[in-house]
A and B are shown apart, each in its own frame.
Chain A
Amino acid sequence: MALTNDPREAARGRADEEAAQGTALVTSPARIEIPDSAPSDDDLLAPFGMEEHPTGGFHGLLEVIPTKADLVIDLIRANSLWPLLSGLSCCAIEMMSTATSKNDIDRFGMFPFRASPRQADVLIVAGTLTTKMAGPLVRLWEQMPEPKWCVAMGTCTTSGGRFKRSYSVVQGVDRVMPVDVYVPGCPPRPEGLIYGLLKLRELVMARRGQWRTYVDRGPQRVAWEGDVR
């Protein structure tokens, strides 16, 4: 066995030996390091000598910008979060008010309230969640494709609110599904909901390129009284 200082040489030699002895181990290819935090545009562009032009756009050596597809896709996602058209009670009226002319959340790419959970990104739980409604609502959540986010709108959905003592109210929607943003208020003003949704957008931007699924997050549902059978 040849002596060498190069570890790759040594490994290759060891592999040859092991192959000869029939005890070869599958060696993994060299690992590509991906930074955990999203790199800024400047960091990505610096090696290519590109810089931002004062009048807009980039100029430099390259005509393409190298980046990760996830970052671009999540950038698009963050700027077009489509909520599910689903209201439970009083807060739903304020949610609609948020969507209509005066407080137009179309400005943030959030207008198209989708009627089908399969096309929606955000579930805005607007209103009191009762035990009978918990089953259908969790089914809606499970039908939404990943990645998905949940906004709890109003005190009833954050803690049960004024109905906390009731015999038929779920005391906070986070008992049945994971929640990303809580918007307090009874009901919150439309400005409050817009602020919450902008916080959600910040959250999506911050987790750009590294979202995880909700499969092993949040409490698991067993059975609810009101499950549609």
Chain B
Amino acid sequence: MRLLVERFPDIARDLWTDEDTVEVQLPRDAVVETLRTLRDEPEFGFYMLADAAAVDYGIGHHFEVVYHLYSDRHPAWLRVRVPVDRANPRTPSVTSLWTGAMFHEREMYDMMGIVFEGNRDLRRIYMSPDYRSFPQRKDFLLPDDAADSSAAGVNPLERPETWDLTTFSRELTSSAATYPPPDTQVDVPAEAYPHGQESADKSRPA
């Protein structure tokens, strides 16, 4: 960790750690160069890409690509977070460093719609080629025919009449751009739950 601060003074302010993970935040432009250094320099030796995941922080916020790296010289996982603009979701590909990142990036493209520049094979991996949505985005709501049944009420998601999407989006955009947003719990009027349900989490429609 001290090594990281010495070598990359720019990212030092974003360092965060717990007992077995060190977390850094990188700008989109520097990601390939920094990861190459982390992989190739013997003092780092993070030669294995353990995981690459995409996170959607909701409307009005940004995407994030998260890499988890493993090194046999350090006792911690290294987590690299790369924010990606939601309106223009493009980020450089790391398939030039790890061939194994190919399927990770294809999955992120399929599920989140993030375009990796330089990836040779960026097509859908799970859904069929003519599928048009990106299911893991937060504005993709689950289809649910349980909403019509009288037994609805297990989850507010299943009851569209309780959705208040405009409030939701206003709250997200008005809150500070830091994650996580402050408690967005909304008081639900009692008559909205005629089936005797006492409380429901309405803060996150998806």
Q: Using CB atoms and an 8 Å cutoff, list the residues of chain A in contact with chain B.
A: 131-132, 164-168, 171, 225-226
- A-B contacts, 23 of them at CB < 8 A, read A131-B128, A132-B126, A132-B127, A132-B128, A164-B146, A165-B142, A165-B143, A165-B144, A165-B146, A166-B142, A167-B135, A167-B140, A167-B142, A167-B143, A168-B126, A168-B127, A168-B135, A171-B145, A225-B127, A225-B128, A225-B130, A225-B131, A226-B128
The CA-CA distance from A164 to B135 in the complex, in Å, is 16
Chain B residues with CB below 8 A from A171, complex form: 145
Grouping DSSP codes into helix (H, G, I), strand (E, B) and loop, the B interface class, with mixed when no group exceeds half, is loop
Minimal beta-carbon separation of A169 from chain B (angstroms): 10
Q: A165-B142, A166-B142 are in contact. List 7 more A-B contacts (CB 8 A).
A: A131-B128, A165-B143, A165-B144, A167-B135, A168-B126, A225-B131, A226-B128
The CA-CA distance from A113 to B163 in the complex, in Å, is 50
Chain B residues with CB below 8 A from A225, complex form: 127-128, 130-131
Chain A residues with CB below 8 A from B126, complex form: 132, 168
The CA-CA distance from A120 to B142 in the complex, in Å, is 37
Residue-wise, chain B 133-166 has the 8 Å CB interface mask toward A (1 for contact) of 0010000101111100000000000000000000
The CA-CA distance from A168 to B125 in the complex, in Å, is 13
- Closest-by-CB residue of B relative to A226 is B128
Grouping DSSP codes into helix (H, G, I), strand (E, B) and loop, the A interface class, with mixed when no group exceeds half, is loop
Q: What range describes how many residues of B lie at the interface?
A: 10 to 19
Chain B residues with CB below 8 A from A226, complex form: 128
Chain A residues with CB below 8 A from B127, complex form: 132, 168, 225
Chain B residues with CB below 8 A from A165, complex form: 142-144, 146
Chain A residues with CB below 8 A from B140, complex form: 167
Chain A residues with CB below 8 A from B143, complex form: 165, 167
- Closest-by-CB residue of A relative to B141 is A167
The CA-CA distance from A131 to B146 in the complex, in Å, is 19
Minimal beta-carbon separation of B20 from chain A (angstroms): 32
- Closest-by-CB residue of A relative to B155 is A165
The CA-CA distance from A167 to B143 in the complex, in Å, is 6
Minimal beta-carbon separation of B81 from chain A (angstroms): 27
Minimal beta-carbon separation of A132 from chain B (angstroms): 5
Chain A residues with CB below 8 A from B135, complex form: 167-168
Minimal beta-carbon separation of A142 from chain B (angstroms): 20
Minimal beta-carbon separation of B133 from chain A (angstroms): 8
Chain B residues with CB below 8 A from A132, complex form: 126-128
The CA-CA distance from A164 to B140 in the complex, in Å, is 16
Q: Considering the complex of A and B, which 9 residue pairs feature the smallest CB-CB distances, nearest first?
A: A225-B128, A226-B128, A165-B142, A167-B135, A165-B144, A132-B128, A167-B143, A167-B142, A225-B131
The CA-CA distance from A171 to B143 in the complex, in Å, is 12
Counting chain A CB atoms within 10 Å of each CB, the highest count among B126, B127, B135, B140 belongs to B127
For window 19-70 of chain B, which residues contact chain A by CB distance below 8 Å? none
Minimal beta-carbon separation of A140 from chain B (angstroms): 18
The CA-CA distance from A171 to B128 in the complex, in Å, is 18
The CA-CA distance from A165 to B135 in the complex, in Å, is 13
Minimal beta-carbon separation of A70 from chain B (angstroms): 42
Counting chain B CB atoms within 10 Å of each CB, the highest count among A131, A167, A168, A171 belongs to A167
Chain A residues with CB below 8 A from B142, complex form: 165-167
- Closest-by-CB residue of B relative to A171 is B145
Chain B residues with CB below 8 A from A166, complex form: 142
- Closest-by-CB residue of B relative to A164 is B146
The CA-CA distance from A52 to B135 in the complex, in Å, is 67
- Closest-by-CB residue of B relative to A228 is B128
- Closest-by-CB residue of A relative to B136 is A167
- Closest-by-CB residue of B relative to A227 is B128
The CA-CA distance from A167 to B126 in the complex, in Å, is 12
Minimal beta-carbon separation of A207 from chain B (angstroms): 33
- Closest-by-CB residue of B relative to A131 is B128
Residue-wise, chain B 167-203 has the 8 Å CB interface mask toward A (1 for contact) of 0000000000000000000000000000000000000
The CA-CA distance from A131 to B131 in the complex, in Å, is 11
Minimal beta-carbon separation of B72 from chain A (angstroms): 35
The CA-CA distance from A122 to B78 in the complex, in Å, is 52
